[in-house]
Structure 1
Amino acid sequence: MPAATREERLILWIAIIASFVAFLDGTVVNVALPAIVDDLGGGLTTQQWTVDAYLLTLGAFILVAGSISDSFGRIRVLRWGLVGFAVTSLLIAAAPTAPILIVARLLQGIAGALLVPSSLALITSTFRGAAQARAIGTWTGITSAAMVVGPLIGGLLVDLATWRLAFFINVVPIGAALWLLTRLSTRDVRTPDARVDFVGAALCVVGLGGIVLALIEQPNLGWTSPLVWACGLVGAIAFAAFVWRQTRTAAPMLPLSLFSVRNFAWGNLATWLIYGALSLNGFAIAVYLQEHAGVTATAAGLATVPVTIILMLGSSAVGTWAGRLGPRLFMTLGPLTMALGAALMMLVQAEFNYWWQLLPGVMVFGVGLTLTVSPLTSAILGSIEPARAGVASATNNAVSRVAGLIAIAGIAAIVGGELDLAGFHRAMAATALAMAAGGLVSWIGIRNAPATTADAHSPV
């Protein structure tokens, strides 16, 4: 079979670098959370909002971004996202107070919403069949390097200088991606009848924001507080109105018809469980190790690097295997393996020893994640026709981000109000249960696509 063309390779690298920026930011934030609180104050609530402010607008606007991507062109929207992400990263680095930082994180989430869906849409509209699975595997493996670079550089900057410098590292990959975009000769792909539902976006933001505010403030104020129950009620009503609107508008930002496709519907349910558990796990490890186990920001960031190394080394191969054998087996065994890894992390004790208490679980968790990510993405996006790749990618990304949003918002209830040793154990138990549920859902719902006799594109 002929090798991938120059244009195909260029598209893949643009998608990889653009997504790298968003993933890099996520790893830096977790490592920097204790230092941010030491500088700006606010305790666990500030830590939750620092993560959730970004996830709130990301989860809401990522759906609009899918429509914008289809309407205005994926390449153009990608460029907008890169520039916006650079500007908001600088605002975060300069924030003098926690509220200003949180506002900047809200704006950064909007910019981030323009990146990952457009990146994956470029891949899914360029590659099909086994070549698509291979491309997504390559994308997964290389973008996972952000989870190595982020904790290492971010932790060193926090320990040796200031957490503020950690947010400047986004500028380097952003510059590289913008330069590669100038080398691309492919014309932008647009959907003529695509429309942007800004009313739906507003309902989604209010709905998610109200629910998250209630979950974060409930441990501090109690359910009887007017602020808590009123925000929760308004959020629930607004989100219900958002879902209702999607059944009535001519151009929904979340086409519910997508969920009539079996692998798309069940795959997104698995995504909700798996990515919610991933967010909970990463937050709990980064904060507990620094605040209670007494390790440095760099050491806390490096604690889960083995997961990323395994993911980087294995994702491309797993993507190829899933392209040949189908995703169902991998999507079942992967989350179950991660459940075992999370359970092993409960070996952590007050007298902390990384090598015997945390590393075994981290290694097992990494194997499970590697078995899961590429097949999960391929199963979901490969089940939707290329013409709707943008909105399908946006929907799946929104599900994963909102799952993380809710998991972090509810962490105080999960851990019992404080991320001490007992709270850490409860967080790992919750992670294990959610992962096991994700594996069961995948086995029940996912079906392997019929084998084809030829692929439109060769492996990348």
Structure 2
Amino acid sequence: MHNKYFVPSDKMLLGFVLAMLTFWLFSLSLNSVVDKLIADPTLNIPSAQIALGITITALFSGCFIVVAGGIGDKIGQLKITYTGLALTIIGSLLLIFATNAFMFITARILQGLSAACIMSSTLAQIKMYYDGTARQRALSFWSIGSWGGAGFCTFFGDLVSKNYGWRTIFMISIVVAIISVLLLFGTPATKNASPDSKAKFDRSGLCFFLITLISLNLFITNGRSLGWFSPYILIALAITVVGFIVFYLVEKRKQDAAFIDFALFKSGAFNGANLSNFLANCTVGVLSIVPLYIRDGLKFEHYGWLTLGYAVSVLAMIRVGELILRKVGAKKPMMLGVSITGIGIVLMALTFLPSQTYFISVAIGFLLFGLGLGFYATPSTDTAVSNSPSEKAGVASGIYKMASSLGSAFGVAITLSVYYSVLPDNPTLANVAQTASISLFVNAGFCLLSVLSVFFLVPKMAGKK
């Protein structure tokens, strides 16, 4: 357990926030510089392998985040945080010097593992060190790094790459990681008295889970190019379905050290927070489609400024969501937040508008997009963290952030798959506009499903103090 005489400081909390920001610096920033990666003669990587490198980070972080959380429960969460920051530095250095696909993809895998370590361990330590309203405040600041980082880094990646080159993003990521290490220096090590601390690592569970998710990713991303009824796609779908069934049956029978502890899912509030979180993160697909349409359809290069409202509003609303949580509980702000996000996406989907009017609609849409997610962030995180046993804080935190990472990965994959499946071979501007609109309405659908999951699963007064 942690040192009972230790009083957590804002310095430590800032260290956690900066650690979280490193994930978005190296992950989401690349979504806005794909064209620069493809055109970079020193990189010399085919576009298909660049696309794999971009998505593989979220996939690996999603698969390994529960593992990192479980290991942290056994050996100490602070050690896992330091490990994650070290992997951030190594992965960023590899990207800075990358000249081929192997270096690029390896670096992205390391950064996915880094994210798995950082997201689970920082959230688990907040649960250990804070209680009541102090925990809700800490979660608000943690959410600034988690949710606010997404809005900031979209704008940041576009701005930095245009002026200084895309590799500069990762130089800055290294600096941020080092500052985080310095801020966390002196924090006492944490270790839970977990009853299964001596249990063996569930390698078979991880393998089943990884194979299943990779098969699902291949099905979603390659269905159009290979044909939805081609043998390869049907085999990928079959592996996905059978894999999920086998994984559930095998893991449920394991008494100790299961890859995912299904006992945690006995809580309706925990289930509602995780499912709604997964669906809310699926809307990250918006950050791929809107720039794609504005850049390729409307031929407007400086789209990064249109997302600035997202960065500002999500940061501004996170603390407001915390205050509302204390007064009325988590359910209402969670539902309202995702609803506002959905309205913002609908505004972005109005691609039939004249270009100047559409830019205004997009700017307002991103503002609402950020307002909603900021409003949702702290109540959702508090609901997941508070409705799990302290001795399994790392695993529970890992599951919550796994939902975030996998939501982001599959949200982007599904959105782009819909976009390229609907888009004709020789599209006109009208075709591109219609296709972008359809893809964005799919993301609005994710918001609707997220609202319904909160409505049916989260108790009315969850989180109220």
Specify if TM > 0.5: yes
Partners of 2:272 and 2:351 lie apart in 1 by: 34
Counterpart for residue 237 of structure 2: 232
**Which one of 429, 449, 452 corresponds to residue 437 of structure 1?**
449
**Which one of 345, 348, 356 corresponds to residue 348 of structure 2?**
345
Q: Is the 8 A contact 1:41 1:98 kept in 2?
A: yes
Counterpart for residue 427 of structure 2: none
Q: Describe the shift of the 1:150–1:361 C-alpha distance in structure 2 as closer, same or farther (beyond 3 A).
A: closer
The amino acid that maps onto 2:177 is I
Partners of 1:341 and 1:47 lie apart in 2 by: 30
Q: Does 1:334 align with 2:342?
A: no
Partners of 1:232 and 1:314 lie apart in 2 by: 40
Partners of 2:297 and 2:374 lie apart in 1 by: 29
Provide the secondary structure at the position in 1 that maps to 2:260: coil
Q: Describe the shift of the 1:152–1:211 C-alpha distance in structure 2 as closer, same or farther (beyond 3 A).
A: closer
Q: Does 1:394 align with 2:364?
A: no
Provide the secondary structure at the position in 2 that maps to 1:367: helix
Counterpart for residue 280 of structure 1: 285
Partners of 1:352 and 1:37 lie apart in 2 by: 27
Q: Does 1:29 align with 2:36?
A: no
Between 328-337 and 122-131, report the one with greater CA deviation: 122-131
How far did residue 228 of structure 1 move?
2.5
Partners of 1:411 and 1:134 lie apart in 2 by: 34
Partners of 1:452 and 1:178 lie apart in 2 by: 34
CA distances 1:397-439 after superposition (whole Å, capped 9, x unpaired):
1112112222222234322434932221012111111102211
Q: Is the 8 A contact 1:62 1:397 kept in 2?
A: yes
**Where in structure 2 are the equivalents of 1:48-87 lying within 5 Å?**
48-87=51-90
Which structure 2 segments of 5+ residues have no match? 424-430
Q: Is the 8 A contact 2:328 2:464 kept in 1?
A: no
The amino acid that maps onto 1:84 is L
**Which one of 414, 417, 420 corresponds to residue 432 of structure 2?**
420
How far did residue 321 of structure 1 move?
2.0
Counterpart for residue 9 of structure 1: 10
**Which one of 359, 364, 377 corresponds to residue 381 of structure 2?**
377
CA distances 1:74-116 after superposition (whole Å, capped 9, x unpaired):
0001101110111112222333234542333123211211011
Partners of 1:53 and 1:205 lie apart in 2 by: 12
The amino acid that maps onto 2:249 is W
Q: Is the 8 A contact 1:56 1:402 kept in 2?
A: yes
Partners of 1:364 and 1:145 lie apart in 2 by: 14
**Where in structure 2 are the equivalents of 1:186-335 lying within 5 Å?**
187-189=190-192, 191=194, 193-194=196-197, 195=199, 196-249=201-254, 250-277=256-283, 279-296=284-301, 299-335=302-338
Q: Is the 8 A contact 1:130 1:324 kept in 2?
A: no
- Cα RMSD for the two superposed structures: 2.5
Partners of 1:68 and 1:90 lie apart in 2 by: 26
Partners of 1:141 and 1:312 lie apart in 2 by: 6
Which structure 1 segments of 5+ residues have no match? 454-460
Structure 1-normalised TM-score? 0.89
How far did residue 274 of structure 1 move?
1.2
Between 10-19 and 147-156, report the one with greater CA deviation: 147-156
How far did residue 376 of structure 1 move?
0.9
Between 94-103 and 175-184, report the one with greater CA deviation: 94-103
The amino acid that maps onto 1:201 is L
Partners of 1:229 and 1:270 lie apart in 2 by: 29
Q: Describe the shift of the 1:232–1:192 C-alpha distance in structure 2 as closer, same or farther (beyond 3 A).
A: same
Q: Does 1:96 align with 2:96?
A: no
The amino acid that maps onto 2:371 is V
Partners of 2:289 and 2:90 lie apart in 1 by: 29
The amino acid that maps onto 1:121 is A
Q: Is the 8 A contact 1:14 1:181 kept in 2?
A: yes
Q: Is the 8 A contact 2:38 2:46 kept in 1?
A: yes
Q: Describe the shift of the 1:364–1:182 C-alpha distance in structure 2 as closer, same or farther (beyond 3 A).
A: closer
Between 163-172 and 98-107, report the one with greater CA deviation: 98-107
Partners of 1:357 and 1:435 lie apart in 2 by: 19
Q: Is the 8 A contact 1:326 1:448 kept in 2?
A: yes
Q: Is the 8 A contact 1:141 1:315 kept in 2?
A: yes
Partners of 2:96 and 2:297 lie apart in 1 by: 26
Partners of 2:248 and 2:463 lie apart in 1 by: 36
Identity value in percent: 22
Q: Does 1:363 align with 2:367?
A: yes
How far did residue 318 of structure 1 move?
1.6
How far did residue 148 of structure 1 move?
5.4
Q: Describe the shift of the 1:368–1:146 C-alpha distance in structure 2 as closer, same or farther (beyond 3 A).
A: closer
The amino acid that maps onto 1:61 is F
How far did residue 53 of structure 1 move?
0.7
The amino acid that maps onto 2:16 is A
Counterpart for residue 428 of structure 2: none
Partners of 1:305 and 1:203 lie apart in 2 by: 40
Q: Is the 8 A contact 1:10 1:184 kept in 2?
A: no
Partners of 1:213 and 1:103 lie apart in 2 by: 19
Q: Is the 8 A contact 1:73 1:190 kept in 2?
A: no
Partners of 2:292 and 2:105 lie apart in 1 by: 18
CA distances 1:288-336 after superposition (whole Å, capped 9, x unpaired):
333333233xx33332221121121121122122023200111111111
The amino acid that maps onto 1:172 is V
CA distances 1:129-177 after superposition (whole Å, capped 9, x unpaired):
2221221112223555534553344223322343233222210111011
Q: Is the 8 A contact 2:147 2:374 kept in 1?
A: no
Partners of 1:149 and 1:93 lie apart in 2 by: 21
How far did residue 41 of structure 1 move?
5.7
